[in-house]
Amino acid sequence: MAYGDFLIQKDLNFTVNHGDVFIIMGGSGCGKSTLLKIMIGLKSPATGDITYDGESFWTAPADEQELMKRKFGTLFQSGALWSSMTLAENVGLPLTQYTDLDAEERREVASYKLSLVGLAGFEDYYPNEISGGMKKRAGLARAMAMDPEILFFDEPSAGLDPISAKLLDDLILELRESLGTTIVVVTHELASIFAIGNNCVFLDADTKTQLATGDPKELRDHHPNFVVRNFLQRGTAVPESDAA
Amino acid sequence: MVSLGGDWLLGHDLPGADPVLDRFRQTPKPGSVSFESAALGDWDTGLITALMAIHKSAEASGVVVDDAGLPDGARKLIALALAVKEREGARRSAGEKGFLEQVGEDVLDAWQAGKELVSFLGELIQSFGRFFRGTATYLKSDVTQHIQEAGAEAFPIVSLISFLIGMIFAFVGVMQLNMFGAGIYTADLVAVAMVREMAPIMTAIIMAGRTGAAYAAQIGTMKVNEEIDALTTLGVNAIDFLVTPRVIALIVMMPLLTLYASLMGILGGLLVGLFMLDVSLVQYLEQTAAALKLNSLFGGLFKCIVYGSLVALAGCQQGIACGSSAMAVGQATTKAVVMGIVLIVVSASILTIIYINLGI
């Protein structure tokens, strides 16, 4: 993937399984958010493709792509709520777009989604009237509005206090358990990675390619590449060749 | 061996690293450089920057640096600064461009901007198609809100400016026409000038500054906050949702505002005419009515719709094309206004020529 002539990452090859909590991680500037944008259809890859259940995304025609995109829900880094609409209207817009519910029913669904993320009672607040953490949670409620098959999170715990981050982790696991949602998270918050991640890909900014895939705990303890172990051990890894 | 002494503080005269750097350039090159700092007083970043310069120069000349004689804190700070290697390919050269190169780039940029505008116009037309078929996603409350903001709330400024323009035209007319004893024709001058040309153009330019800029800023800020990305990922067409309601609002309000501006202009002329000419109210109004033909009125109204569409087009296109920073929003707003005004004036010329040839 590249911006014009500026290469960001090459030779990426990994699989996200149904029901995974898949972590995309790497040092700053390695292209994690760009990879996420390619996966949700906001930016096209310079070469290569993404397939969902065997169906190719980037070679499909535009209306096929729209159908595939309906299965995604995305939480952007600062929530990306529409500033001219209340929280209930924000959560309700995807419902207007894709369902035949009337205004009363949409409001009920929006209330329910907002209470799932702990924002019951804030339906008629505008995004500029709530805190950063609340904006993120409202963004998550909107991402979940259509019960998507795949949820994408862009740095969900950025700016959240430890308790809120833990509650978010719990919510992510609950979504996987009860709704069978596949979750893709871009993050470098180690506590979350080990708490919820069961599969991952590690992107490296210097070699501009992926260095590892698999269970993060395995990679932390046993991966042969020092860069990967060092990242997952928060800089305390010993640069010896893998003996264990 | 470099001896550091005295105070090395940023706010005061810094001794600087030049003597050491000069020594590096002489031959024979020193094999290594070490420091002793027994006489060193207060120091801060001023000392560190000098030491960093020595380090960089030493690395380039192949001289070994021995930091042992430096104060503890200084040594640790330098180690920290050198810890993460400079990322390859990240540094940008601050090269200066020649004049011709700059002109060439500007022409290419302008050409690119033109192409983007035409492409945006195409998308807007497709969006209108969806609107007429009823398949577009947008909020009706958005359209009425924009009508209020772009139209109703612009009445004060449009009144003021068109009234004053009418008065100015009347002044100029009276001064010149009175020399021929034809002062009464000021009424014709003001009426025809306002209705045919001045009301549409002045209203459109006011809209460009007021509303075109607002559209660019609103949509640009949404772009910076990733709100447009959020719309796209949810399958909502950003043009349908954001742009077309604004364009429709402006197209609906422009004729009304222009009619109103023409009226205010004529009133302004009337005021001047009554005071400076030896005519009665009825005479002036009769003259005005006789001068105005339906062709002029409809010609003016068609022009104002064209201008209004161009203003909305420029404002929304710049908003959508906005970069990702506060500065980018400012640039987008400025370009929206400038582009809007340029488009207005160019289309004014083209339409005037067409009208003359059609005899309107």
Q: What tens digit of pLDDT does each residue of B135-153 get?
A: 888 888 899 999 999 999 9
Average pLDDT, chain B: 88
Does residue A1 lie in a domain region?
Answer: no
Both A157 and A67 in one domain: the answer is yes
Does residue A4 lie in a domain region?
Answer: no
Residue B171 CA from chain centroid, whole number: 35
Does residue B101 lie in a domain region?
Answer: no
Does residue B98 lie in a domain region?
Answer: no
A189 CB contacts (<8 Å, ≥6 apart)?
A157, A158, A165
Residue A220 CA from chain centroid, whole number: 21
Domain of B46 in residue numbering reads as: 2-82
Please state the domain count of chain A: 2
CATH number at residue A63: 3.40.50.300
Is B64 an interface residue toward A (CB < 8 Å)?
no
Cα-based distances in Å from A45 to A25, A59, B229 = 19, 11, 17
Percent of chain B with pLDDT strictly greater than 70: 96
Query: Which of A115, A147, A179 is the last residue before a domain boundary?
Result: A147
Sheet strands (E) in chain B: 2-8, 32-43, 64-66
Give tens-digit pLDDT for A204-215: 888 888 888 888
Does residue A240 lie in a domain region?
Answer: no
- Ramachandran region of residue A45, left (φ > 0), alpha (ψ -120 to 50) or beta? beta
- pTM passes above 0.95: no
Both A221 and A123 in one domain: the answer is no
Does residue B106 lie in a domain region?
Answer: no
Q: What integer is the mean pLDDT of B26-34? A: 75
Q: Is the pLDDT of residue B19 over 70?
A: yes
Q: Is the pLDDT of residue B78 over 90?
A: no
Both A62 and A166 in one domain: the answer is yes
Tokens 């959240």 — which residue?
A: A160
Is B226 an interface residue toward A (CB < 8 Å)?
yes
Both A157 and A62 in one domain: the answer is yes
CA A189 – CA A205 distance, rounded (Å): 18
In B, which residues are within 8 Å of A70 by CB distance? 235
Query: Which of B13, B47, B82 is the last residue before a domain boundary?
Result: B82
Per-residue pLDDT, A241: 54
Q: Is the pLDDT of residue A176 over 70?
A: yes
Please state the domain count of chain B: 2
In B, which residues are within 8 Å of A75 by CB distance? none
Q: Which helix (H) or strand (E) holds A15?
A: none
**Residues comprising chain A, all counted:** 244
Is B222 an interface residue toward A (CB < 8 Å)?
yes
In B, which residues are within 8 Å of A97 by CB distance? 137, 234-236
Q: Is the pLDDT of residue A164 over 90?
A: no
Is A70 an interface residue toward B (CB < 8 Å)?
yes
Does residue A243 lie in a domain region?
Answer: no
Q: Is the pLDDT of residue A244 over 50?
A: no
Percent of chain B with pLDDT strictly greater than 90: 60
Q: Is the dihedral of CA B75, B81, B84, B88 positive or negative?
A: negative
Record: contact B225-A74, CB cut-off 8 A: no
Domain of A213 in residue numbering reads as: 10-44+56-71+148-234
Record: contact A78-B225, CB cut-off 8 A: yes
Point out which residues pair with A168 in neighbouring strands.
none
Both A152 and A230 in one domain: the answer is yes
Both B53 and B142 in one domain: the answer is no
Residue B71 CA from chain centroid, whole number: 52
What radius of gyration do chain B's Cα atoms show? 33
Is B18 an interface residue toward A (CB < 8 Å)?
no
**Residues comprising chain B, all counted:** 360
Distance separating the N- and C-terminal Cα atoms of chain B: 91
Edge-first strand order for the sheet with B32-43 is B2-8, B32-43, B64-66
Report the 10 Å Cβ neighbour count for A237: 16
Q: Which span out of A206-215, A229-238, B327-336 was modeled with the highest average pLDDT?
A: B327-336
Query: Which of B20, B47, B82 is the last residue before a domain boundary?
Result: B82
Cα-based distances in Å from B100 to B107, B109, B113 = 11, 14, 20
Give tens-digit pLDDT for B275-324: 988 889 999 999 999 999 999 999 999 999 999 999 999 999 999 999 88
CA B267 – CA B282 distance, rounded (Å): 13
In B, which residues are within 8 Å of A37 by CB distance? 229
Name the nearest CA neighbour of A151 among A142, A161, A163, A138.
A142
